[in-house]
Structure 1
Amino acid sequence: MQKVIIQLGTLTCPSCMQKIENAVGQQSGVDKVKVLFNASKVKADIEPDKTSPEALKQVIENLGYEVEGIKVKELA
């Protein structure tokens, strides 16, 4: 299991947060997802054999949001 933290460009409305959370949460291999509106970050726990940080980045960019960076931590 990996924890992925994706830094976004500035989010402008709470509905943006919900749209991203729903789209990322529907991806295969995503265990849980949380969008931090004020920090413009997406935190997700993923199964690396089913999805990747790059796949989540693509989902977010396809919604029209800017991804500024990605951090990945291995979970025990």
Structure 2
Amino acid sequence: RALAARAVEANPFLEPELLVPAGAHLEGGERVELLVVRDGERWRGCLAVRTQPKWSALWLPCVRSWRNPYGFLDTPLVDRDHVG
């Protein structure tokens, strides 16, 4: 919640009130994880991600941002005090 409040660009779909229920109830949500950049205990960046066994035609495992059918924005949350 604190990172969402100080993010450079707001993304309500990454706020706990929307992300947690989406992960619990939408298809594929059980595989969603948070990719977090921290400075001590303070979060500086956050993105919901999921792994998949291949990318395009290459059979290489990868990590990609998670977009659900009801969340049309997958911009990561980035602390506005740590940009640049």
TM range (shorter): 0.3 to 0.5
Task: From the CA coordinates, give the structure whose radius of gyration is larger.
Answer: 2
TM-score (norm 2): 0.34
- Tell me which of the two structures has the higher relative contact order, counting C-alpha pairs closer than 8 angstroms and 6 or more residues apart: 1
Structure-1-length-normalised TM-score? 0.36
The structure in which a higher percent of residues are strand is: 1
